[in-house]
Structure 1
Amino acid sequence: MRTRLAAMAVAILLPAHLLPASAFAQQGVFQNRLGDPLPSPSITSPTLPPSMPPAEPEAQLSLSALLSGAGVPLRQGLAWRIYEDRGDGTRPSIVGRSTEAEPNFTLPPGAYVATVTYGFASASKRIVMGGQPATDTLRVAAGALKLAGAVGDQKIPAAQVSFSVFVPVGTNSEGRLVRSGIKAGEILRLPEGTYHVVSTYGESNAIQRADLRVENGKVTEATLNHRAATVTLKLVAAPGAEAYAGTAFSVLTPGGDTIREAIGAFPQVTLAEGDYVLIARHDGQVYTREFKVESGLDRDIEVVAKAG
């Protein structure tokens, strides 16, 4: 009993920094290494990060297109793309597409580039969205070509003629191909400028060329006139007789250049006006004939297989 009282007396007389930690733990007080009391953690008022401002809402962008000059609204043949404009020199990414005449895009705030393609013509515009609906119009500098072919007063059927359109480069009228295989009556939309047009009638040498001007808001219609005819080749035993099947024909210029080759009983060949040499090969025999093509005069060219 006396020993316990002595220990308690010593504890009471010792300074606070010499008391064991267990003494303070019993009283609910915590100390650091230097003996100073540590603050008790709070569970009623935790420290929270500052609140973030609310994000700006997405908004609708409405677009339309007009022809420059004429100001005519474009209602078809459009291809729209919306690119994100990051402004850091990286390749922009596509965030929207449409083929409608007046498309709507829902976009978050930011900078964008809107582009519209009309045939081979196009226009673009930088647009900034700030959380509010926006409307804009792009003006396309474009016109169009509509082509046809004829021999004299007779229109060439669309299936028998095709066109190629070029952009002249320097002194080369066929410097850059815009498009080939264009059919008669087709509308080809192009930026304003001068173009070189090549018309091919048939599959041989009946070719005509022309330089044509396309103006904004206008359709340039042109008919390229060919001086040519379609001839039917035949190898016969006598004039007017039945043609031999499986005959191989070669059509040459007087200088010996091959224009067209064909195989059959009576193949048809469209040729430009001029003089030609026809060679027919059948059963190991070769037969020749000279003939002339007159513009607009379609006819049979017979080679008579003479014995010996």
Structure 2
Amino acid sequence: MNDAVAWSDFWAANTGAGGGGCLPQRWAAIEDAQRSAWGGFIANLPQAARVLDLATGDGRVLGWMRTERDDLALIGVDLAPTLPASPQGTETRGGIPMEDLPFDADEFGAVVSQFGFEYGDVAKTPAEIARVLAPGGTVGLMVHRGDGPILEHNLSRQAGIDWVLAEQRLGTIMVTALESPQGGPQVAAQVAAAISMLGADKFGEASPAWEIPEAMRRAVLMGADSGLPSIIATLHEIEARAQNEIGRINSLARACAVADQRDAITSGFSAQGLQLRSENQVAEPSGRAIASFLTFS
């Protein structure tokens, strides 16, 4: 699946929801560590500096910055054409690749990205960052780690989705149960309930192996009066959203692999006259690193 399609579907579905992308939502400590890192970064930016956030998503980094420094001019761009509303006092634009930015040269005092730079073309993006970065400007990148809990969490979710859709063939079984002469919504709901119980036993109640069949169970019961075509369309939509999550997890895994190739990243910026100034680990309270924070100037 095309990454832009997968992420556009995510942001469209989560408009106004305040979700955390691929982050495990129960881990508030992850966001606390991220926010603290960005607070340190912007503390030294000049008054009224213009800041560009690449792969901005829901604009949460811009929102954090706005809370700390309301003098900054904050703009975010993202390849996904459909984005949630931008945080108050900020501007975000969709459908913009980081490799081809619609801005003038020397326009920004800082260019930043949180879990975004590594999704782009890291061979081309440093040149575009250098072009729009004003002389004396700073680059801040928070990048994924292949050994971190974010990828680990999402690979676990992928295993649950694969089990439901590929191994159990839930979508096909549900449609068969609905259309069978001896079937119908009640029978299909019982099938979904049985698979959700198996999924909870195998992967846990917070896993997609429980979430997806439970969503389908509710869909057939709530849609019983709307007719089989409507129910089946809803089941297909649930399955499509699960497939899109697999697409996002695959793109996350690729991004982690790219981010771990640190020499390629630093040499790309060095070729544009931007040297690595610092590399710090962003860690959860246990001390486990969740990301690396790189600065260039």
TM-score range, shorter chain: under 0.3
Query: What's the TM-score once normalised by structure 1's chain length?
Result: 0.21
Q: In proportion to residue count, which structure has more strand?
A: 1
Compare relative contact order (CA 8 Å, sep 6+) and give the higher one, 1 or 2: 2
